[in-house]
C-alpha cells in the first residue's frame, strides 16, 4: 500500500511540475511576443517620440514595482 501511495504522490508531483513548465513556457512566449511588438512599434516613431515612449514605459514599470509586491 505504501508503494501505491508513493507512486501516486510521484505522479502528482510530476503533474504539478509539468503544469508549472507549461505555465513558464506560456509566459516566455507571451513576453517574447510583447518584446517583438514593442520593437516593431519603436521602428515607426521619430527620435523624440521614441524617447517619450521609453520614458512612459519606464514610468509604468516603476509604478507597477511600487504598487505590487515582489514575488
Residue matched to cell numbers 527620435: 47
Question: pLDDT at position 39, please?
Answer: 87
**What is the reported pLDDT for 1?**
63
pLDDT band for 28, please (50, 70, 90 cuts): very high
Cα separation values, 34 from 6, 10, 21, 29, 65, Å: 42, 36, 20, 9, 19
Model-level pTM?
A: 0.53
First-to-last C-alpha distance (Å) of the chain: 39
**pLDDT for the residue 71:** 56
pLDDT computed for residue 41 by the predictor: 85
Amino acid at each position: 500500500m505504501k508503494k501505491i501511495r508513493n507512486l501516486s504522490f510521484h505522479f502528482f508531483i510530476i503533474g504539478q511540475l509539468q503544469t508549472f513548465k507549461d505555465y513558464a513556457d506560456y509566459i516566455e512566449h507571451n513576453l517574447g511576443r510583447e518584446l517583438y511588438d514593442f520593437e516593431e512599434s519603436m521602428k515607426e516613431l521619430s527620435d523624440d517620440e521614441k524617447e517619450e515612449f521609453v520614458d512612459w514605459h519606464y514610468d509604468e514599470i516603476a509604478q507597477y514595482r511600487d504598487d505590487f509586491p515582489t514575488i
